[in-house]
Structure 1
Amino acid sequence: MNYRLSAILLTTLVLSYGCKTAKLPTASATAQITEEGLLNCFAPGTSLNGQPVWCEASAALFDGKNVLFANDKDMPAGQSPVFEKTPASLSDSTQAPTYLTQSAFVSARKYEDFAQTPDKKFVLLTTAFDRIKPGSHDWDSYNTILYWPNGNPEHPIVLAPDDTSRTSIGYRQRIAQVLATDEFPGAIPYFKIEGLAATDNQLLFGIREEGKSYSDFKHRVKVISVSYRIEHIGNTDRIRLANDWKLIADFDPAKAEPTLPQPLALSSLEYDPQRKRFWMLTSFESNSQLDAYLWTISPDDLYANKPFTLVRDSQGQLLHFNHKAEDLTPLDNHRLLLIHDDDRIRTTVGSRTRQPHQAAYTIVTVK
């Protein structure tokens, strides 16, 4: 009787454990492209200083209601590089975007990536941090991180060591120090941020380029982290960064998959709290050739500096995009929206050719 009871108990425990572990997400995934389209970022013929403006969309985020986008180019007066559309109207050319014209959005330069805290209370948006002008503040706006309460983009706040700065230039030196190398001890002269992700207590920045200058650099896939906390000041909640900046990942895509085109470099980093994993995009551009690949990794493996895993389709083929994928955002439990920055190349979506006022997008269904 006791043996039978023990066997039943053991079986129950094994089944219970199996059910629980079966629900845990893995660090690998299969996916397929289920939709492609062209997003109208502004009216055809839009120009600035006598030159046509191209939509070089570099960031996207679904905040639960609307999809926010950011163009990494300046816009004419009255418009903004940051705008939003409803998910249902992405390819609707008759419905113009809503532009976020607050001064903080307009003054920052070269946006690269959105992020959202896992509790969905805050949205963040970073620029590339890829240029400064010694002895001048003229280019400080290229070094800016904005954040705001989700659903309230009318009141963006600059993430800075103090409450009066108009840019985030105060963090630049700490990032440069974390990225120091044997070639550039102390601090690296040049770097470019193209990824931003938020966990419950840390911000993670993805590095695409680093080196001597914007014309002398190497492509990279690096991730640095810094802890944050929320501080309540009157009626405002502010994000405060700790001083624990750290390089947590240095990944070489060529070693993981030697058949991939080179040089591949990071173009987006996102944390997916629903699946408890990170997504990363790497992109390739050479002359008029563009491509991008989707990767994934568990938090434990990322912080242990283990390799990312390439996402494949159901036939085992590498999932890739004939575009320069720049950012991704989960739309629901199964779909990811990718926005592409194809620069000024007239790429195609089906039988349609991209026009200057448009950006290509892709929706991927994850299994």
Structure 2
Amino acid sequence: MEKRAIITLVVGLASAAPHAPAAELPGRIAAIEHHTAACFAPGTPVNCEVSAVVESNEKLLLANDKRLPAPGGPALFTLDIEQGKISGEPTVLPGKALREADKYEALTKTLDGRYMIASTAFNKASTDEDPSSDILNTLLYWPVDDPEAAKPLSPTSRSGVTSSISLRKQIKDAIGASYYQIEAITMAPSEPVKAKTADGQLIIGIRRHGNDKTDAHFGFTLISAHVKFKDGTLALVEAFKSVQNFNVQAQGHTVGLSGIEYDRFNKDRLYAVTSYEEKSVDAANKPITNIGGFLWIVPFAAGKPGTPQLVTREDGSTLRFSNKPEGVEVLDAHQIIVVHDDDRVEVQTSEAGIERGANEFAYSKIRFP
């Protein structure tokens, strides 16, 4: 019998906002299916590494961790979806701004569904002398039917590239660390005191943060800022602030946040996925990598997230993925989809996950009661 998960939640920032009260949410799923879908044709010399997902008009927009093998194409593409099943041929999104940004890690849409929002990793700073990493520090938005109109939030132009590099300092101040890695974003309703002056709040999820890349720890860290649209331009109405900073363990694994999304149907929760990647050696002293992850429900009330709650299977055992979850999207009031990036690790098909080809990504269709 599977052991129940052990979850350690440690608040790491004294300035974190008070958490919303725990809500009665469906902690158990009703069913889960694992499938695969193709990023591009077999034999292409690029590995499919899907990092984020968002739905719009019966299509999924997905981000690939690396640029796609399309001439001049960005790492964003769409696939058809019907009743939680992905189909069709991938269509790469056009647009100069989308092509310039690199290492997309998070996708969401505005609460009214009119705009898409994408974030890169922000995991490398750049300088006036060497602004080449500006492309890794971009948060873009565009009308759902016009990706060529994409533009950065809080734009700064250097060396012919316009990015959101100006956001780095306030994100750093909100987190309290000079190095950080963005892996998740979602739009969510405003706190009541901001409801009249904002069009919602942009919540950003941080997977790792610390002094530098070699001295960073995994966590479940959220920051947020209220935003406002005016004449088609998105702007912050306040600086980013800390919302949560947890260290999370599940089944003995220290995990990092890899995706989050507000449930616009039930309006009382966020869904989040966390993942781990652990290196070791086998009996023959050969290096091996163990991957996996978990699904969480986060209560959401009065514009504030509460304490993450681990999701279980119908029998009460922990819902664990053997694939590596990277993004989550809410399809309706009872169904979500989780996309995975296995980082070239071979996963065997089982009740916990599914084997995939180099040109494919794995995804899990999950139904709640």
Task: Tell me what 1:74 maps to.
Answer: 67
For 1:60, which of 48, 53, 62 is the aligned residue? 53
> Is 1:194 aligned with 2:195?
no
Deviation string for 1:6-43 (max 9, x for gaps)? Answer: xxxxxxxxxxxxxxxxxxx8334321443211111011
Q: Alpha carbons of 1:344 and 1:297: their partners in 2 closer, same or farther (altered >3 Å)? A: same
Distance 1:144 1:338, change over 3 A: same
| 2:237 aligned with 1:242 | yes
Q: What SS class does the counterpart of residue 204 from structure 1 fall into?
A: strand
The AA in structure 2 aligned to 1:216 is D
Q: Secondary structure at the match of 1:139?
A: helix
**1:104 aligned residue (69, 82, 97):** 97
Shift of the 322–206 alpha-carbon distance from structure 1 to 2, 3 Å rule, reads: same
* DSSP-derived class of the 2:239 partner: coil
Q: 2:260 aligns with which of 250, 269, 285?
A: 269
Structure 1 residue 339: Cα displacement: 0.5
Q: Deviations over 1:227-285 (max 9, x none)?
A: 101101xxxx111112332101112323xxxx523221101111111111111111111
Matched residues in 1 for 2:313 and 2:254: separation? 23
Q: Is the 8 A contact 1:37 1:349 kept in 2?
A: no
* Corresponding position of 2:167: 171
Q: What fraction of aligned residue pairs are identical, expressed as a percent? A: 29
Aligned residues of 1:38 and 1:349 also touching (Cα < 8 A): no
Higher RCO (CA < 8 A, seq sep 6+): 2
TM-aligned CA distance change 1:262 to 1:302, over 3 Å: farther
Q: Which residue of 1 aligns with 2:194?
A: none
**Bigger strand share:** 2
Q: CA deviation at 1:163?
A: 9.3
Matches of 2:30 and 2:183 in 1, distance apart? 24
The 1:118/1:29 distance shift into structure 2, 3 A limit, reads farther
TM-score w.r.t. the length of structure 1 is 0.81
**2:295 corresponds to:** 294
Tell me, which stretches of 5 or more residues in structure 1 are unaligned? Answer: 1-24, 48-52, 181-187
Corresponding residue of 1:280: 272
Q: Which residue of 2 aligns with 1:122?
A: 115
2:205 alignment counterpart = 206
1:87 is paired with a residue of what secondary structure? Answer: strand
Query: Which residue is equivalent to 1:12?
Result: none
Higher helix residue share: 1
The aligned amino acid for 1:151 is D
Moved more, 215-224 or 293-302: 293-302
Equivalent AA in structure 2 for residue 83 of structure 1: F
1:300 & 1:330 partners in 2: Cα distance? Answer: 18
- Paired residues of 1:28 and 1:309 also in contact (CA < 8 A): no
AA in 2 matched with 1:76: P
TM alignment of 1:211-222, pairs within 5 A: 211-222=210-221
**By how many angstroms is 1:176 displaced?**
0.5
Q: Name the CA shift for 1:267/1:352 in 2 (closer, same or farther; >3 Å).
A: closer
The Cα RMSD (Å) is 2.3
Shift of 1:162: 6.5
Structure 2 CA distance for aligned equivalents of residues 356 and 302 of structure 1 = 40
Corresponding residue pairs, total: 320
Q: CA deviation at 1:82?
A: 0.4
1:354: which partner in 2? 356
- Report Cα offsets for 1:187-222 as digits up to 9, x if no partner: x22100111010231100001101122222111111
Amino acid at match of 1:179: I
Distance 1:309 1:64 in 2: 30
Q: 1:122 to 1:59 in 2, by over 3 A?
A: same
Paired position in structure 2 for 1:363? 365
TM, length-normalised to structure 2: 0.81
**1-side partners of 2:214 and 2:85: how far apart?**
35
Q: Is this contact kept in 2: 1:161–1:240, CA < 8 A?
A: no
Q: Distance in 1 between matches of 2:157 and 2:368?
A: 41
Higher mean displacement: 290-299 or 163-172: 163-172
The answer to whether the Cα contact below 8 Å between 1:27 and 1:309 also exists between their aligned partners in 2 is no
**Distance (whole Å) between structure 2 residues aligned to residue 64 and residue 35 of structure 1:** 23
Larger radius of gyration: 1
Q: Give 3-state SS (helix, strand or coil) of 2:357's partner.
A: coil
- Give how far 1:87 is off: 0.6
Which 5+ residue runs of structure 2 have no aligned equivalent? 1-22, 190-199, 280-288
Distance 1:210 1:161 in 2: 24
> Quick check: 1:318 aligned with 2:355?
no
